[in-house]
Structure 1
Amino acid sequence: MKYFIQCFCCLLVAMYSAVPLLKAQAKAEPNILIIYVDDLGYGDLSCYGGDIPTPQIDRIAEQGIRFTEFYVSAPACTPSRFSVLTGAYPQRSRHGLTNALMPVDTNYLDDAEMTLAKYAKAYNYRTGIFGKWHLGFKNKSDSPEQHGFDKFSGLKGGCIDFFTHVYGQMGHDWFVNSVQTRERGYSTELITNHTLSFIDDCRKVNQPFFTFLSYNAPHYGKTDPDSVVAHTVSLSEGEYHGYGIINSLQAPPKYIEKFAEIEDPYRQAYAAMVSCLDDNIGRLLDHLEQSGMMEHTIIWFISDNGGYSIRYFGHADNGGLRGEKGTIYEGGIKVPSLLQWKGYLDAGQVREGPVCNIDVLPTLLNLTGMRLNRNNTPKIDGVDLTNFLLENEQISRPLFWYYNQQMAIRDGKWKLVNGEELFNMDQDPFESKNLASDHPKVKQRLSIKYEQMAEELDIMLR
């Protein structure tokens, strides 16, 4: 008995000392790089079985962890970004960041809402966001700097023409160091350029960085019908508040040529965009390796939501999952995600089990030694995944979704959708067989849990 107690105590010590030991091995505060891509489908990376070669992004999987059941809190850009930066469900946002913001919307991230950038800044990190903001502004003078970021270059809205950087006929949306600027180039490449410059600046002054690399690719662009550049594929054309807009897929010519064998023009253009994105992430990884920064940098790659595998000519691939962007079926909320900390997390791992982008903030705070303040606004819904990453210790808690009158909850292997469809996700990841009539008690239990969470978040259920 004494021997058993001693062994048990040793096991506890080993588990709870894993993070301090991991942190102590690092020579300095680790850099944090979140690569947040836009509308990439679950089946669009080659490391997830996709047919678009993505050797550069696959390097992150090879050197770290690939998640098989990584979820986002909502199947759309704005609420997903709110959650990854705050660790909270979007329903907790003070100003209704629960849907993708449109240009005339007045919702915004409140100054009082604590972001990962604010945490990092308090711990002497230099912070930068490069690419897409899409979290609104209180007024014209508001900027990402008010939310913890030292530097911002990119677009304030949700999407732009990749070459001209306009939102259709509504005007120009491109900023360099927070100043509206006319900068020539393809946005994916420009975003990477600004990120590399920021990382170099941090290295020169020997200061750790937190970079939110928020690519707008491979989300479709917003092209001015009167100024269409070559290699633009139109998904749809119409007007928004009287302004002409083309929803477009665009890539540099060499990438279009690379996929000349794809007959479907929409899939061809999309594959070209993904390939360009992959090459640019490769530029970043190469730079971190060559500058000796790779082993001091935590890299987390995530898609903000699923892709368009049905609408807009089904140009994305969600790996056969049901639904797409905008739905709370798996195709809308289950996304590719990869995590690397070279030398500290073992290479070539796969983690199965439901986790979510609300978990990113508490996990990164713990891995880097930053202290989480549970009294901050908004209340943090995410959990620390450290033991899941290091020991494959499964997370036991329900996950919750509410988007455009769609409702879902996942608890363990069970997922209840709209209070009527019950799926065993272990046996049926494609949500093809409704088991509600076979398991009424499970349905009732999940319904009660959902109602309790909805009441806490002050959601009026239909």
Structure 2
Amino acid sequence: MNKPASNTRLAVQILVFLLVTLPISAQNKLPNIVIIYADDLGYGDLSSYGGDIPTPNIDRIGKEGIRFTDFYVSAPVCTPSRFSLLTGRYPQRSQHDLTKALMPLHENYLDSSETTLAEYLKTKGYVTALFGKWHLGAKNENDSPMQHGFDIFTGFKPGCIDYFTHVYGSLGPNWFVNGKPAEEKGYSTELITRHATEFLDEVKSNSTPFLLYLPYNAPHFGKTDPDDVRDHTVALSVTKYEGYPVMNSLQAPPAYMQKFAYIKDPYRRTYTAMVASLDDQVGVLLDKLEKDDLLENTIIWFISDNGGYSESYYGHASNGGLRGEKATLWEGGIRVPALMMWKSRVQPNQTVDSPICNVDLLPTLASIIGFKDQLRPTLVDGLDIGSVLFKGKKLSRSIFWQYGNQTALRHDDWKLVDGKELYNLREDRNETTDVAESHPKLVRQLRRESDRIAEKLGEP
């Protein structure tokens, strides 16, 4: 159990030794970056978004920085959302069709020509680490974050695993430490944090900036082997994948299950326990950064990768009344909780209602860190939102979605769904009233804009 962790520490020590030999101008005062990417967390699940799950640690990020009310992801499922976060591009641009959630035996993968945030940051002297879920290619041995700019990778490659045994159903183990298959004991949410704090121990003593990407699997359902079900596991469904029995399951540590014993619905109770566990681990991370005097100059983002299951799988998540859920282009599938802080630069207690998207992180960080000249504007779909973060300005922009046969376009307060339904999101956030008939000219305008973007994304 301890050997993999010591290997991680050794790898970080070697990297830090090499990087501190960079010219001091390449290291000095550049901010550290922490991106916490929750998995299937609903818009209405955090207490700061009106939810009934106590999440004081995650909420702290917004209290000491910005809470976004209209933050979107580029797709309503895991893989394309992660592609966009790391590349600043819509998933329709991906070389190997990363437009839907990858399964373990799919051959799709992130191409070496697609430059990630980690690769850009390494040109500026950053140490880069990913602890958690990859989900951008898993079938081949070379499909790894360490082929795409991450110096350290500990976690798992497919979309989900059992939280306790770290298997993908009956397909077997899927856990890596420093890029190598490994066996570790523990609840995966806590393991991810433990490796992250060990990483911080190694980088805190020097001035080398770091990217810490934490794509937790919580609170996405686990993937349990039906023949090896641990205590505190609630089954959502039992099925087969390519002939292998698998169970979709909600799983939480015993102490958290006891804490929420008053919740009668077993699915909501277990999910609540999973979210509360995640919140506590975010608290461990924030406390560690603060104790090590790293918090002041660290940019921290907390984002969900897509909406939650508020209807399917017993409706265990809450999207806060938004229409739809994961895998739909209604607001419940693509509008997500998002909070950001940078204590030395961003004013606290802000609420931002401009439409922001996860494709915006990369170009924004490019401007802050200084690698903007490396971006090819024709292939980056996000915007630099520095004026929103630092000056409180409003954005006027369009955001486009295409998922399967569904399409959507948001332009300012208006949203066009499937080219025909129109909603005013400022007045009707839950998309209850289609006003297309009373605004035919606007429908035509938005349809043209949607078609224009779709055509642009289809160009080689």
Bin of the TM-score, shorter chain as denominator length: over 0.9
The residue that corresponds to 1:83 in the other structure is 84
Contact 1:199 1:209 in 2 (8 A): no
TM-score where L is the length of structure 1: 0.92
Shift of 1:139: 3.1
The residue that corresponds to 2:414 in the other structure is 414
Contact 2:162 2:222 in 1 (8 A): yes
Matched residues in 2 for 1:232 and 1:225: separation? 11
TM-score where L is the length of structure 2: 0.92
Runs of 4+ in structure 1 deviating by more than 6 angstroms, as ranges, are: none
The Cα offsets for residues 398-447 of structure 1, whole Å up to 9 and x where unpaired, read as 11000011000011111000112100111100000000101000000011
Amino acid paired to 1:183: E
Secondary structure of 1:294 counterpart: coil
The residue that corresponds to 1:12 in the other structure is none
The Cα offsets for residues 235-294 of structure 1, whole Å up to 9 and x where unpaired, read as 011111111111000000000001001000000000000000000000000001111110
Contact 1:159 1:221 in 2 (8 A): yes
| CA separation of 1:458 and 1:369: change in aligned 2, threshold 3 A | closer
Matched residues in 2 for 1:93 and 1:113: separation? 8
The answer to whether residue 349 in structure 2 is matched with residue 345 in structure 1 is no
The residue that corresponds to 1:405 in the other structure is 405
The residue that corresponds to 1:284 in the other structure is 285
Secondary structure of 1:347 counterpart: coil
The residue that corresponds to 1:393 in the other structure is 393
The residue that corresponds to 1:436 in the other structure is 436
The residue that corresponds to 2:188 in the other structure is 187
Contact 2:104 2:138 in 1 (8 A): no
Instruction: State how many pairs are aligned.
Output: 434
The Cα offsets for residues 309-359 of structure 1, whole Å up to 9 and x where unpaired, read as 000000000000000000000000000000000121001100011110000
Secondary structure of 1:66 counterpart: strand
Shift of 1:457: 1.6
Matched residues in 2 for 1:160 and 1:28: separation? 38
| CA separation of 1:142 and 1:277: change in aligned 2, threshold 3 A | same
The answer to whether residue 452 in structure 2 is matched with residue 424 in structure 1 is no
Secondary structure of 1:325 counterpart: coil
Shift of 1:375: 2.5
Map 1:71-220; keep pairs closer than 5 Å.
71-137=72-138, 139-220=140-221
Contact 1:410 1:416 in 2 (8 A): yes
Give the % identical residues.
Answer: 57
Matched residues in 1 for 2:65 and 2:456: separation? 36
Map 1:363-378; keep pairs closer than 5 Å.
363-375=364-376
Contact 1:110 1:138 in 2 (8 A): no
The answer to whether residue 234 in structure 2 is matched with residue 233 in structure 1 is yes
Contact 2:106 2:139 in 1 (8 A): no
Matched residues in 2 for 1:200 and 1:405: separation? 47
The answer to whether residue 324 in structure 2 is matched with residue 331 in structure 1 is no
List gaps (5 residues or longer) in structure 1: 1-23
Alpha-carbon RMSD across the aligned residues, in angstroms, is 1.4
Matched residues in 2 for 1:168 and 1:139: separation? 19
Map 1:30-49; keep pairs closer than 5 Å.
30-49=31-50
Secondary structure of 1:218 counterpart: coil
Shift of 1:85: 0.4
The residue that corresponds to 2:4 in the other structure is none
List gaps (5 residues or longer) in structure 2: 1-24
Matched residues in 1 for 2:145 and 2:434: separation? 44
Secondary structure of 1:254 counterpart: helix
Contact 1:109 1:137 in 2 (8 A): no
